[in-house]
Amino acid sequence: MKRKVVYLVAVAALSGTAMGSVYAANVVENDAMAVKTAKISLTQAVTAAEQYVVGKASRAEFEKHAGQWVFDVEVVGDRKVMDVKVDPESGKVLAATEDKADHEYTHDKED
């Protein structure tokens, strides 16, 4: 009798774990849907980033960075490529750092 109880408890525990895994797999955070929570548009974020760096945006997306949603805009300046983080609530630039990976011009050296 004890063996049946232990067996049933083990089956119930495994079933609960499996169901939790299935639920977690179905709950996927979608960046595209999260942008609906932003108070400014992607266009406004790009404009803020371009004015801050004085350049042209080559890529922009809405993503989670350090636990907070931000617009991440890549801006090509005079001789640098910058990653600019823009606050989706206020439109203010939170950070601008040089993107060293995009700064190298290896394709030009090959020509």
The pair of structure tokens assigned to 59 is 């890529």
DSSP 36: G
SS3 19: helix
pLDDT digits (tens, 9 = 90+) for 44-102: 999 999 999 999 999 999 999 999 999 999 999 988 999 999 999 999 999 999 998 86
For the chain, list the domains and their CATH numbers.
31-110 (3.10.450.40)
For the whole prediction, is pTM greater than 0.85? no
CA separation for the pair 39, 50 (Å, rounded): 19
SS3 76: strand
Cβ–Cβ < 8 Å for 98, 81: yes
In single-letter form, the type of residue at position 33 comes to M
For the chain, give me the number of helices (H) and strands (E)?
A: 5, 4
pLDDT at position 110 is 45
The pair of structure tokens assigned to 27 is 């709950």
